[in-house]
Amino acid sequence: MAPVLPLGLPLQSRIRLAQGLWLLSWLLALAGGLTLLCSSHLLVQLQYLGTFLAPSCPFSALPQVALVAGAVALGTGLGGAGASRASLDAARYPPWRGVLGPLLAAGTVGGGGLLVFALGLALGLPMSLDEGLEEGLGTALTRYKDTEVPGHCHAKLLMDELQLRHHCCGRHGYKDWFGVQWVSNRYLDPSDQDVVNRIQSNVEGLYLTDGVPFSCCNPHSPRPCLQSQLSDPYAHPLFDPRQPNLNLWAQGCHQVLLGHLQSLASTLGSMLAVTFLLQALVLLGLRYLQTALEGLGGVINAEEETQGYLFPGGLKTAWLQGGVAHRAAPEKTPPEVPPKELG
């Protein structure tokens, strides 16, 4: 069968191909390294922000897969740079002849497959953030008061850090705190009639107030922070509840975190797309260079023109085979013996 996608490669074309591959391989190694950095950064962010995601949210799979894909792309780029550089010297190329086959197989099946999978996750998983943050932030608000409950004792600290660092308040706004008990029971006086009335007025037995935690306060406000009786228009004559941004963070944490994580996922997705494109170009170039050199016995500066291809005799030929389509040597015809003269 005829080779698949054959390409004629004379001497100058082979040299330019090797030099171009050397540059593309280093670009691939750089893109793989940047993918590693982006996925590591997102993974670190999720170590902290993962508390505010629902346990069923699969978003954390994105940086994990992208981390492995970036590492494989980095290795493919370094290997491609070494192979293309060695191919310019017939004395240095022979050790690479046995390496190129496994390198191409690992780069195609492992790296290419992982990059496509990670790119698919980067396009699809950000959609799951909305529901994951909705459930996770709701749980975080209800656990804010559980400072003495095992497993929940850090919920208050984490929520306060989130609101202070990201300049947000509540799930969708500061009024979300009105519907949950955020004051720990240890700070409530059971003999206080106001406390008793508030607890008894709620069917769930919660102490609800129209106040917010201190971490909702905007430190840039020109006046002291007002945290309690926010729904009473007569409690604070100088406070306009229609303009809470003058005193409290205006945005809810859901909107802030959704934009933050989607931005990181978008950056990572862009890096994955660039890395995938570079990896495809490097693998194709290495395959053509490999098959062209095998046809010349590994000598790139041979004068005759050779042919590179993807598969030597159809798709059923394995990729791991050295790419050599050995031509059958012409059979030598025995020399003609002159007829003996009849005496």
Query: What's the pLDDT tens digit per position in 268-279?
Result: 999 999 999 998
Say which residue the tokens 């496509």 belong to. 116
pLDDT score, position 329? 36
Q: Residue 155 in contact with residue 181, Cβ under 8 Å?
A: no
- Token pair in block for residue 321: 């085979």
With cut-offs at 50, 70 and 90, classify the pLDDT of residue 140. very high
* One-letter identity of residue 10: P
Kindly report which listed range (3-12, 42-51, 132-141) carries the lowest average pLDDT score: 3-12
Taking each continuous run of H as one helix and of E as one strand, the counts in the chain are 8, 2
pLDDT at 343: 41
Structure tokens, 5: 């996608």
Least reliable range by pLDDT among 72-86, 137-151, 158-172, 319-333: 319-333
Is pTM beyond 0.85? Reply is: no
Rounded to 5°, angle at Cα 27 from 23 and 29:
115
**Rounded CA Rg of the chain:** 34
Highest mean pLDDT among 45-59, 161-175, 290-304: 161-175
Percentage, residues of the chain above pLDDT 90: 27
Worst-scoring range by mean pLDDT, 46-50, 80-84, 228-232, 312-316?
Answer: 312-316
Which tokens hold the place of 29?
A: 């190694």
Q: pLDDT, tens digit, for every residue of 232-286?
A: 767 666 666 565 556 788 899 999 999 999 999 999 999 999 999 998 899 888 8
- Higher-pLDDT residue of 23, 112: 23
Cβ count within 10 A of residue 15: 15
pLDDT of 165 reads 92
Q: pLDDT digits over 55-110, tens only? A: 888 888 899 999 999 998 998 899 888 888 877 776 677 777 777 778 888 777 77
Is the per-residue pLDDT at 210 higher than 90?
no
DSSP secondary structure string, 62-109?
HHHHHHHHHHHHHHHHHHHHHHHHHTT-TTTSHHHHHHHHHHHHIIII
Backbone angles phi, psi at 150, to 5 degrees: -55, 135
Mean pLDDT value of segment 313-317: 52
227 to 158, 168, 187, 213, 275: CA distances (angstroms):
19, 15, 16, 7, 49
